[in-house]
Structure formats: structure tokens, C-alpha cells
Structure 1
Amino acid sequence: MSSCSCKGIRTCITCEKEGKIPFLDLQQTAWTDFSNHPNHEGDFILYPGIEIIHNFVSPDEEREITEKIYQTPFVDSQSGRRKQDYGPKVNFKRKKLKCDVFTGLPDFSHSLYKRMNDYPVLKDFIPVEQCNLEYTQERGSAIDPHFDDFWLWGERLVTLNLLSDSVLCMTKDDSPDIEIHVPLTRRSLIVVYGPARNIWKHGIHRNDITQTRLAITFRELSSEFQSQGPSAKLGQDLMDIALSFKGVAVGNKAV
């Protein structure tokens, strides 16, 4: 029996020590030192769909949020990560979800939500799911390039990056020789939308986790669950629950 939660091609240091063959990360040697890039000269490419809000929270706020997060137990996730989920129970393959285990976003996120709405890119953003993910170098934490689901989750993906700097790596299947590295500075909020959400896959490489990182990701509903969509009633129920800010992490509530 494996002592981690990795499935399929995904691995972490724990299961690799137990004999599982790691997925070959062809980008392990990708350059990430943003302070001393050797190739600033030359052509550039347009890359719409990323907005970074630096110092979205203060050091004192970061400390308070982190303390509250660690008061709740984590559950193991794939690729050497640990997580806390606040959101509906979803079966993405069958396109079904249940609200009965969803009690809302956690109370400490209320002030974060109100602050997000002060920025034009997030003025009408209503999160209905929050996932707190812990990455550590010791576990070899990472996440392979992927798209977040398009049936349930909407245009904007929002992540608050805490405890350390990291790098968000963007790739396209039809451009294997291009990788965009987006700096995730400590205490910054990153908004991914448009082409960066719909055309480019995003991931985190293992070698870009050098210290413990906490990522708080917020997701909004897709158009199917908005006011004119076929599942608008369910979408409104989810938004009402989420914005109660009385949530308990799904994995820590009896079902």
C-alpha cells in the first residue's frame, strides 16, 4: 500500500522511494531566476490573460491567515501536495455535483473576497470554491500542466500565493518549445483568464518549490450556472452557501 495519494502518472518523493517510476519532467532545467534573465533582448510574444496584484495581503495578514489554515487538518493530495477543500462535491466525468456537504467558504476569506472586488478584473467575481494547497520541497510537491474544468468553473482562476515565491509555468500542446514562466511572488494575488485560462495549460514544477508554499485558489461558476444558464438555480444556491463564510473543509466533515 502506498503511503501517499498519487495515482496514474503522478508521483511524489514518497512513492518514488517506494519504487514508483517518476513521470519525466522535461522542463526540470527550465530557467527561473527572474532577477538575472540572460535573454531580455530580442522579440517578445503577446501573452494576455495574466494579472498579478503584488502585496495583496500584508505580512501580518499572511501570518494570521496561515495560522487559521493550519488550525484545520489537511488531507493528502496527489503529486506530494496536501489540501483543504471548501466547495461542492463534484463528479466531473458525469457532470454531477452535490451541495449537501458544502457549508461555505471559511470565515477568514470574507475580507479577501471584499478586497478582490475592489479591482476591475475582479469587480463581479463570486467564488464558490476555495482550495488551500500546501507544497513542500521534502515531498516533491508539484502539479502537471493541466486545464481546470470548463463545465463547472468559469473564466477567472484566482490564487493567493503565501509563505514563499514560486513560478507558474504555462504551456501549449501545439507549441512544445515554448514555456511561459509567471513569477508567483510571496503575498501576491494572480488572476488567470482569457487565453491564459482557455488555451494555455498551467502547472508547477517540482524544482520551483524551494520552501513551503501555501496556495489559496478561488474559482467562480461557468456560464451554465449563471443567471441565463440551464443550471442557474443550482448556481445561485452555491453562491448563497459560499458567501455565508461559515464553511468547514469538505474532507473534515462527516458525510
Structure 2
Amino acid sequence: MMAPDTSDGGASCGCKGIRRCLFCEKFKDKGHLEASGAKVVHHFLYDPETRFAICKDAEATSFPFPGVFLWENFISEKEEEELISAMDQDMWNQSQSGRRKQDFGPKVNFKKKKVRIGSFSGLPPLSQKLVLRMQQEPRLAGFRPVEQCNLDYHPQRGSAIDPHLDDSWLWGEHLVTINMLANTTLTMSLEQGLPKLGLAEEVQVAVQVPRRSLIVIYDEARYRWKHAIHREHVRERRVCSTYRELSAEFLPGGQQAELGAQLLDIALCFQGTPI
């Protein structure tokens, strides 16, 4: 039987700066909440068969949207239950915007561009078979993850993740995520719009991510488009595991190749516990 969600009910939160969850909005200064006034946004829906962004209101031309790969039914119901049960036996730490997290990776200071092994002991044991399965896909044949982050979203906490670009100094091109417990929508956004298509304002592309699927963000979608999970798309508990690979800086020939080799040796022993 699947282990129950053991969220703390909102006695405190992990939000910092402008980040907000439902607890913040009740008990913290509301001065930093969203500014009033609607802005113009062009909405598109990603079609995984054609790999086009399809205009939702027929007012603009659809366009190719490269850099997204979706693998439906990547895990089975039994595997999903096993993975969630294992996660819920470990401690969930509070994170930004109503999320909870479990980290399996090195200690990183992105501002100072410093990485140290710290207490990193590898990816969790259950991930070994999943990584081998990922590598059967030609796009991921050389994918060797060095970090795994489990995130727990729940509507009672107002869980979300703001539009952002993942770091590219440490992390490589492929961002690989397994989506569990609920369908969700990944919102890709380009604030400067697409002037060549006559779209001067922000453009958003909604990518539907089914339960138990794997989604890969790479190429232009990885480096140019911000990605987010909006609060309104979290209607029930949703858990995801995101795997990241090293950038060229930490691979053979890079300036930090020796450290990269150490990190990969630890990561791929698959004996890790959350840090």
C-alpha cells in the first residue's frame, strides 16, 4: 500500500525572497505578491506528435517547438508505488513556493561557482534500473546523471515553481524528469516574445505531462525557454524526480574534469541517501 503524504500542514515554510506559498499569503507581508494588472500573453499548446506549439485561440501561427521529448508510461503503476513508498520513508525538507524536496547530489554554491562532495553518497538504489532504461532512448544514450532532486507538490500548500532557467555552468544539456501521482502541465515561457512571428508580448507553451511519464528538456527549450509549474496545475499530490548531468566543464577535457569524474563515480554507485 502506498505510504501516505506526511506534509506538516503549514506550521512554517521554506520560502525566501519573493517566493510565496499559501502559508506565506496568510501570515507574511503581502507587499511582494503579484502586481495587479493583466499582461498580454500568447498561449500555445505543445503537440508531442508534430512537435509544434499550436495556438490555442487561432489568432497566431503555430510554430515548431524543438527540445522536448515525452516518454509516456515510462514507469509502471507498481514501480510508481514502490518509488513513492521509498521516498516517503525518508525525510522531506521544506523548499521554496510550497514544495518539499529530497536532494541526492553534491554541495553547490552557484554564485561562487564552487562544488564540493560533502555528504553526497550517490543516487538512490531504485534509480539504477531507471537510468539504464533512460539510456535505451537514443537521445539519452550518453546520459549519466550526477544529481537527483525529488520534489513534492501539494495543492494544500499552494505548491509551484516559478519560471526559471536551470544553471548551465554545472548542469549539462538534458533535464530529465519522471512525473508521478498526477498529470501536470509544464509551462514554457519566453518573456521577449517571438517578434518574427508577430508575437511581441510574452509567449507561453503548455506541455501536458501525463502521470508516470518521463519528460526531457534539452536544446532550445533548455537554454532559451524558462520552465515552470503553476499553482493552478497542482490539483492533487504530485511528486517528480529530476535528474541532471554534468556540463562540459566537468567532463573529460574540461577544467574541472577530475572533480567531475569523482562525482560521477559516487553518483553511479546508487547507494545514496538524501542530503
Name the counterpart of 1:114. 132
Q: CA deviation at 1:101?
A: 1.1
Q: 1:10 maps to what in 2? A: 19
Instruction: Report % sequence identity.
Output: 47
Give the superposed CA RMSD. Answer: 2.3
Shift of 1:75: 0.4
Partner amino acid, structure 2, of 1:241: I
Deviation at 1:174, TM superposition (A): 0.9
Pair 1:72-2:97 in alignment? no
Over 3 Å off, 4+ runs: 29-34, 37-42
> Cα offset for 1:30?
9.2
Residues 11, 20 of structure 1: 8 Å contact kept: no
Q: Which consecutive unaligned segments of at least 5 residues does structure 1 have? A: 251-255
Look up the SS of the partner of 1:138 in the other structure. helix
Is 2:64 the partner of 1:23? no
1:207 paired to 2:232 = yes
* 1:113-160 deviation digits (Å, cap 9, x = unpaired): 110000011110000000000000000000110011111000000000
Is 1:125 equivalent to 2:150 in the alignment? no
- Please tell me the residue identity of whatever aligns with 2:189: T
Q: Compared with structure 1, are the counterparts of its residues 194 and 38 closer, same or farther at alpha carbon in structure 2 (3 Å cutoff)?
A: closer
Match of 1:87 in 2: 105
Deviation at 1:173, TM superposition (A): 2.5
Query: What is residue 181 of structure 1 aligned with on the other side?
Result: 206
Distance 2:182 2:42 in 1: 19
Question: Which structure shows the bigger proportion of residues in strand conformation?
Answer: 2
Q: 1:149 maps to what in 2?
A: 167
Moved more, 16-25 or 184-193: 16-25
Quick check: 1:105–1:243 contact (8 Å CA) kept in 2? Answer: yes
| TM-score (ref. length: structure 2) | 0.85
SS of the aligned residue for 1:48 comes to: coil
Corresponding residue pairs, total: 247
Alpha-carbon distance in 1 for matches of 2:111, 2:27: 30
Is the CA contact 2:176–2:216 (under 8 Å) kept in the aligned structure 1?
A: yes
SS at match of 2:240: strand
> 1:191 aligns to what SS in structure 2?
strand
Residues in 2 aligned to 1:20 and 1:55: alpha-carbon distance in whole angstroms: 43
> Aligned residue for 1:55?
73
User: 3-state DSSP class of the match of 2:182?
Assistant: coil
Instruction: Note the alpha carbon deviations across 1:145-193, whole angstroms, 9 max, x for none.
Output: 0011111000000000000011000111211431000011100000000
Is the 2:169–2:249 Cα contact (8 Å) retained in structure 1?
A: yes
CA deviation vs aligned residue, 1:8-35 (integer Å, no higher than 9, x gap): 11000011110332632869x997999x
- 1:159 matched to 2:184? The reply is no
Uncovered stretches (5+) of structure 2, i.e. residues with no partner: 1-10, 47-54, 194-200
User: 2:158 is matched with which residue?
Assistant: 140
Q: 1:32·1:167 contact (CA, 8 Å) conserved in 2?
A: no
> What pairs up with 1:186-201 in 2 under 5 angstroms?
186-201=211-226
Structure 1 counterpart of 2:123? 105
Report how far residue 38 of structure 1 moved. 5.8
C-alpha distance in structure 1 between counterparts of 2:272 and 2:78, whole Å? 23
* Alignment pair present for 1:241 and 2:266: yes
Residue 253 of structure 1 is matched in structure 2 by none
Q: TM-score, normalised by structure 1?
A: 0.91
1:232 equivalent among 247, 257, 269: 257
Alpha-carbon separation, structure 1, partners of 2:22 and 2:110:
28
- After superposition, what is the alpha-carbon deviation per residue over 1:72-111, rounded to whole angstroms, capped at 9, x for unaligned? 0100001000000000000000000110211000001001
